[in-house]
Chains A and B, each alone.
Chain A
Amino acid sequence: MAPKLPLHHPVEQSSTASAGGQAAHSAPPRGLMRWLLTTNHKEIGSLYLIFSLTMFFIGGVFALVVRAELFQPGLQLVEPEFFNQMTTMHGLIMVFGAIMPSFVGLANWMIPLQIGAPDMALPRLNNFSFWLLPVAFTLLLSTLLMPGGGPNFGWTFYAPLSTTYAPPSTTFFILSLHIAGISSILGAINIIATVLNLRAPGMRMMDMPLFCWTWLITAFLLIAVMPVLAGAVTMMLMDINFGTSFFNAAGGGDPVLFQHLFWFFGHPEVYIMILPAFGIVSAIIPTFSRKRLFGYASMVYATGAIAILSFMVWAHHMFTVGLPLTAELFFMYTTMLIAVPTGVKVFNWVATMFRGSISFEPPMLFALAFVVQFTIGGFSGLMLAISPADFQYHDTYFVVAHFHYVLVPGALFAILAAAYYWLPKWTGHYPNLKLAHWHFWLSVIGVNLTFFPMHFSGLAGMPRRIPDYALQFADFNLASSLGAFLFGASQLLFVWLIIKCVRGGEKAPAKAWEGAEDLEWSVPSPAPLHTFEHPPTFRRDENSA
């Protein structure tokens, strides 16, 4: 069932032809204007990726401020007020500025290549989606310089911390989220239209690479929940500036309403940040195992099941807020149910490798680390799903450990794996494999040194979002801080690697990895600016059944 290279593929034609809409166009603008005005999915993809890498380092510096303060007990480096702004901005920047845009960047680059499309379905809208982001995040970051400081209420911005007791800059924070949300919705619409409408002739839905499937479902989640977030922050805006009572019990509203609205967005949001990662790993593991993906169809159905369940679990973030017992039970069971389709996925990845001819190039290393460490994060998630136990874990470092395991060695490692996997296609050069191995091992050690001790400090009762802590947590925090700085520093290696890879290195052929089968490996490396202007005829591998 998995996609195969077409047997009669017009590679030469597609890379040189200037037919279709491109024929009439004058020479593209150069310099800055090229990037400002582009409608090309590869250029916009690169913009997304560069933007998200920038945000990754900004959010990373905020995290290091937090870890530096927590290096030892007591208040040393920053004021508690500023500490709160750092934890908040770290979360917001990483979620909305780093992880999400990097997946959109990968989608932009790879989905048209993987389905044999000439570009995204709506190229100008694509450019609009991207250029909204710099506006949104410049505004968001500028709140740090405003009187009263930036957002200080945690990335979940619970009312009334984010309404009654919020700094004046919160209004700008809300508006920046609106802009970022519009960007996400328009980007998601574009991806859905592309996947549903622009597949090469002969490619059925069930022939698509899994990355396209996971992104299709992710895009649906984005369109379903980003507007709910927009509604929630609009209510905040009204409560702050116009005296409404949405989250004010004195007027008949309810602060808990905010949490419901936020997590109705927030839980699908965490799958928005992991489903594309599943797609990436499902491309990389078969390639380097030189085997077809085990259980392609079950992967698709599992992704769909996760997406549907994601709308029915949101209140597991709110077990301690005082829900009725029936709600506690309902959300506990639905949450545990998610382990089933997720387990299907992990099983399939392992089964793909079973009796494979495995090699350990950097993309595979990151993908393998993803499988192991994401599973750790999944298991701690299962622990947190148990409502009575959650009363102990809630708002401790155990939660911080859990979601960082699914987001850093989970989502982020998948993004790094994708970068190493597709860099030859993007630049025409292999990345420096030796340096990449260094990057991998330093990252794995750094990440686990940072986040594994948080399980222990959390179970022992250390609360999150606190700049000072009791002495018994000192050793765990020391390890976490050392690990964080190691992890942060080793990402500089990644930047160096990318720069070197763009400038030169070992030349990559069209099919850069021996076991790679998807359509993107049929176009030259580096992929020319315009590909598939005449759609390839997609041929299913008949042996696959």
Chain B
Amino acid sequence: MSGGSYYVPPTSKWPVLGSLALGLMLIGFGMILVHGMNGIMMAVGFVALLTVMGLWFRDVIKESRGGLYDDQMDRSFRQGMAWFIFSEVMFFAAFFGALFYVRTFALPWLDGEGAKGVAALLWPEFTASWPLMEPPGDVAGPREVLSPWQLPLVNTLILVGSSITLTVAHEGLKEGMRETTRNWLLVTVLLGLSFIIIQGVEYYEAYHHYGITLETGIYGSTFFLLTGFHGAHVIIGATILAVMLLRILRGHFAAENHFGFEAACWYWHFVDVVWVGLFLFVYVF
């Protein structure tokens, strides 16, 4: 509830510039896809968006360090971050939902099973299986699928481990042991980077040795969209953590007041939890 000193920021040019930058980036992306244009427009939009975000966050950091925020403002930021992560959860839920729907309903029906088995009339030869190696129609399937017990397992250990190292860093910050924080945060960022590199290697393997591509039917579609969006979130999360590392090096954050750092932790743990879901339902089962 209101305490009387709630900070209402002055006018700001970042939001409107941010919306223009986002528009430029997405329209540029559309121009590539639809009209085969080069990527300059998208790149300009992307750089502009990053710049605006950087400057916007710089203002927030300045205000925070200037002592303009009180506990109530802190709660608003917490609410904001928590609900933002919830929206991200629902975004992934759409793709997990698609995966479960296809595996539980669509493929068995195409195989002639159950109430809607009449769908088998489309491709009578089709046999349902998962991973779907032979799609029913004129779509080539993957040659081979990835074993969960090789690179994916390594990546699981890396990401789960990174959640632990991040917690150590966070506890260090709370205890005022800034060197501990710095070192373990650095380890976390490096673990995040190695995850991304390994994921890159896995994609290379998938495309070049296993024949899994976006175009190999529903297996490739769900595999790449789920792991791809997750990978994008790891890149974002690692970037955020790297920024936090820079801020730690510059002496930001107090032991009792460091929501920027905590929000980065929340985000990283969210990315980690999504990965566990991916590992189980995309790779193992």
8 Å CB contact of A135 from B22, B34, B138, B220: B22
B90 contacts A by Cβ under 8 Å: yes
Q: Least Cβ distance of B19 to chain A in Å? A: 4
A197 contacts B by Cβ under 8 Å: yes
Q: Please report whether the interface of chain A is mostly helix, strand, loop or mixed according to DSSP.
A: helix
For the complex, give the distance between the alpha carbons of A232 and B84 in Å.
Answer: 19
Task: Report the stretch among A1-9, A169-177, A501-509, A513-521 that lies at the interface.
Answer: A169-177
Chain A residue with minimal CB distance to B225?
A: A238
Task: Assess whether A201 is in contact with B2, with CB atoms less than 8 Å apart.
Answer: yes
Task: Assess whether B115 is in contact with A324, with CB atoms less than 8 Å apart.
Answer: yes
B65 contacts A by Cβ under 8 Å: no
Interface flags, B100-141, vs A, CB<8A=1, else 0? 011001110010001110010010000000001001111100
Task: Report the stretch among A256-264, A333-341, A357-365, A425-433 that lies at the interface.
Answer: A256-264
Chain A residue with minimal CB distance to B119?
A: A249
For the complex, give the distance between the alpha carbons of A36 and B14 in Å.
Answer: 10
Interface flags, B1-34, vs A, CB<8A=1, else 0? 1111111111111111011101100110110011
A382 contacts B by Cβ under 8 Å: no
B93 contacts A by Cβ under 8 Å: yes
Interface flags, B201-230, vs A, CB<8A=1, else 0? 000000000000011111111101100000
Q: Least Cβ distance of A530 to chain B in Å? A: 8
Task: Assess whether A230 is in contact with B94, with CB atoms less than 8 Å apart.
Answer: yes
For the complex, give the distance between the alpha carbons of A330 and B103 in Å.
Answer: 21
Interface flags, A211-243, vs B, CB<8A=1, else 0? 000000000000111111011101101100111
Task: Assess whether A252 is in contact with B6, with CB atoms less than 8 Å apart.
Answer: no
8 Å CB contact of A21 from B29, B68, B94, B115: B68
Q: How many residues from B make CB contacts under 8 Å with A?
A: 77
Would A39 and B7 be within 8 Å (CB), given that A199-B2, A254-B102, A257-B106 are in contact?
no
8 Å CB contact of A324 from B11, B13, B87, B116: B116
Task: Assess whether B217 is in contact with A178, with CB atoms less than 8 Å apart.
Answer: no
Task: Assess whether A117 is in contact with B2, with CB atoms less than 8 Å apart.
Answer: yes
Could you list 5 further interchain pairs (A-B, Cβ under 8 angstroms) beyond the known A39-B11, A251-B136?
A: A39-B12, A179-B19, A189-B83, A193-B80, A535-B3
Task: Assess whether A252 is in contact with B107, with CB atoms less than 8 Å apart.
Answer: yes
Residues of B within 8 A of A (CB): 1-16, 18-20, 22-23, 26-27, 29-30, 33-34, 56, 68, 72, 75-77, 79-80, 83-84, 86-95, 97-98, 101-102, 105-107, 110, 114-116, 119, 122, 132, 135-139, 214-222, 224-225
What residues of chain B lie closer than 8 Å to A185, measured between beta carbons? 84, 87
Q: Least Cβ distance of B160 to chain A in Å? A: 25
What residues of chain B lie closer than 8 Å to A192, measured between beta carbons? 79, 83
Chain B residue with minimal CB distance to A202?
A: B1
For the complex, give the distance between the alpha carbons of A234 and B105 in Å.
Answer: 21
Closest 6 CB pairs of A and B: A250-B137, A231-B94, A252-B218, A535-B2, A128-B15, A244-B221
What residues of chain B lie closer than 8 Å to A535, measured between beta carbons? 1-4
What residues of chain A lie closer than 8 Å to B222, measured between beta carbons? 246
- Near B by CB (< 8 A), chain A positions 31-53 give 33-34, 36-39
Task: Report the stretch among A118-126, A383-391, A471-479 that lies at the interface.
Answer: A118-126
Would A228 and B76 be within 8 Å (CB), given that A20-B8, A116-B2 are in contact?
no
8 Å CB contact of A171 from B7, B30, B137, B225: B30
For the complex, give the distance between the alpha carbons of A216 and B141 in Å.
Answer: 46
A196 contacts B by Cβ under 8 Å: yes
Chain A residue with minimal CB distance to B56?
A: A124
Chain B residue with minimal CB distance to A219?
A: B83
A534 contacts B by Cβ under 8 Å: yes
A82 contacts B by Cβ under 8 Å: no
Task: Assess whether A232 is in contact with B218, with CB atoms less than 8 Å apart.
Answer: no
A434 contacts B by Cβ under 8 Å: no
8 Å CB contact of A257 from B12, B33, B98: B98
Point out which of A139, A198, A245, A323 has the most chain B C-beta atoms below 10 A from its C-beta.
Answer: A245
Task: Assess whether B139 is in contact with A248, with CB atoms less than 8 Å apart.
Answer: yes
For the complex, give the distance between the alpha carbons of A261 and B99 in Å.
Answer: 12
For the complex, give the distance between the alpha carbons of A172 and B14 in Å.
Answer: 24
8 Å CB contact of A261 from B1, B7, B98, B217: B98
Chain A residue with minimal CB distance to B140?
A: A251
Q: Least Cβ distance of A75 to chain B in Å? A: 30
Would A189 and B135 be within 8 Å (CB), given that A22-B8, A227-B91, A264-B97 are in contact?
no
Q: Least Cβ distance of A335 to chain B in Å? A: 20
Point out which of A116, A243, A322 has the most chain B C-beta atoms below 10 A from its C-beta.
Answer: A243
What residues of chain A lie closer than 8 Å to B122, measured between beta carbons? 249
Task: Assess whether B2 is in contact with A20, with CB atoms less than 8 Å apart.
Answer: no
Interface flags, A130-155, vs B, CB<8A=1, else 0? 01101110010000000000000000
8 Å CB contact of B16 from A22, A131, A323: A131
A200 contacts B by Cβ under 8 Å: yes
Task: Assess whether A36 is in contact with B2, with CB atoms less than 8 Å apart.
Answer: no
Q: Least Cβ distance of A31 to chain B in Å? A: 12
Task: Assess whether B218 is in contact with A253, with CB atoms less than 8 Å apart.
Answer: yes
What residues of chain A lie closer than 8 Å to B15, measured between beta carbons? 124-125, 127-128, 131
Task: Assess whether B217 is in contact with A251, with CB atoms less than 8 Å apart.
Answer: yes
Q: List 18 A-B contacts (CB under 8 A).
A: A20-B8, A21-B68, A119-B6, A121-B80, A122-B80, A124-B9, A127-B16, A171-B30, A185-B87, A193-B76, A198-B1, A200-B1, A227-B88, A228-B97, A238-B225, A244-B220, A251-B216, A324-B115
Task: Assess whether B116 is in contact with A179, with CB atoms less than 8 Å apart.
Answer: no
Task: Assess whether A231 is in contact with B91, with CB atoms less than 8 Å apart.
Answer: yes
What residues of chain B lie closer than 8 Å to A224, measured between beta carbons? 86-87, 90
Task: Assess whether B219 is in contact with A244, with CB atoms less than 8 Å apart.
Answer: no
Task: Assess whether A37 is in contact with B16, with CB atoms less than 8 Å apart.
Answer: yes
Interface flags, A182-215, vs B, CB<8A=1, else 0? 1001001110111011111111000000000000
What residues of chain A lie closer than 8 Å to B89, measured between beta carbons? 227
- Near B by CB (< 8 A), chain A positions 14-30 give 19-22, 24-26, 28-29
What residues of chain B lie closer than 8 Å to A197, measured between beta carbons? 1, 72, 75-76, 79
8 Å CB contact of A244 from B33, B76, B225: B225
Task: Assess whether A238 is in contact with B221, with CB atoms less than 8 Å apart.
Answer: yes
Task: Assess whether A203 is in contact with B1, with CB atoms less than 8 Å apart.
Answer: yes
What residues of chain B lie closer than 8 Å to A182, measured between beta carbons? 22
Task: Assess whether A245 is in contact with B218, with CB atoms less than 8 Å apart.
Answer: yes
What residues of chain A lie closer than 8 Å to B119, measured between beta carbons? 249
Q: Least Cβ distance of B219 to chain A in Å? A: 7
For the complex, give the distance between the alpha carbons of A380 and B93 in Å.
Answer: 32
